[in-house]
Amino acid sequence: MDELVMASYFFWAPGTPLQKNQEGLFRTLLYPILKRRGDLIPHLFPKQFSSLVTGQAALEYLKILRRMEKHLEIASVTLVELREASLSPSRVNLGDLKVAFFVDGLDEYHGNQSDMVDLFK
């Protein structure tokens, strides 16, 4: 049976930097996917995952995934890593998972407009 994950984002000019840039967009759109499919975390964020896994037994895998989920919320993941992870689901087997993104307020985006155009092509 197909599963649907919906993620939405609203660029907000008067808000915090994360509310008006690509980093905030990627973090917000990726979170519901990773919350539903924690098994994708090692594939989308291998560097961060391996730093948490080092020295851990394979039996603790789910516990590590939960820690990773919390870690990603505050981790210093670069914009490049977020962008690559956002584009990677097309290269990762999502199985029956369907994803719908809703993005609003594009006129309030602070950054290079052509980057946004390229992202949504």
pLDDT digits (tens, 9 = 90+) for 110-120: 888 888 877 77
Q: Would you state the pLDDT for residue 68? A: 58
Q: Would you state the pLDDT for residue 58? A: 45
Domain count, the chain: 1
> Would you state the torsion angle of the CA atoms of residues 11, 12, 13, 18, taken in this order, to the nearest 10 degrees?
-70
Q: Would you state the pLDDT for residue 10? A: 93
Name which residue leads in pLDDT, 76 or 23.
23
pLDDT interval class at 91 (50, 70, 90): low
For residue 34, how many C-alpha atoms fall within 13 Å in the half-sphere facing its CB? 25
Instruction: Enumerate residues 6+ apart whose C-beta is below 8 A from 83.
Output: 22, 26, 119
Looking at the DSSP bridge assignments, the partners of residue 99 are 5
| 14-38 pLDDT per residue, tens | 988 889 998 889 888 888 888 888 8
pLDDT at 74 over 70: no
Domain that holds residue 21: 3-119
| pTM for the model | 0.71
Lowest mean pLDDT among 9-18, 43-52, 83-92: 83-92
Share the mean pLDDT of the chain: 77
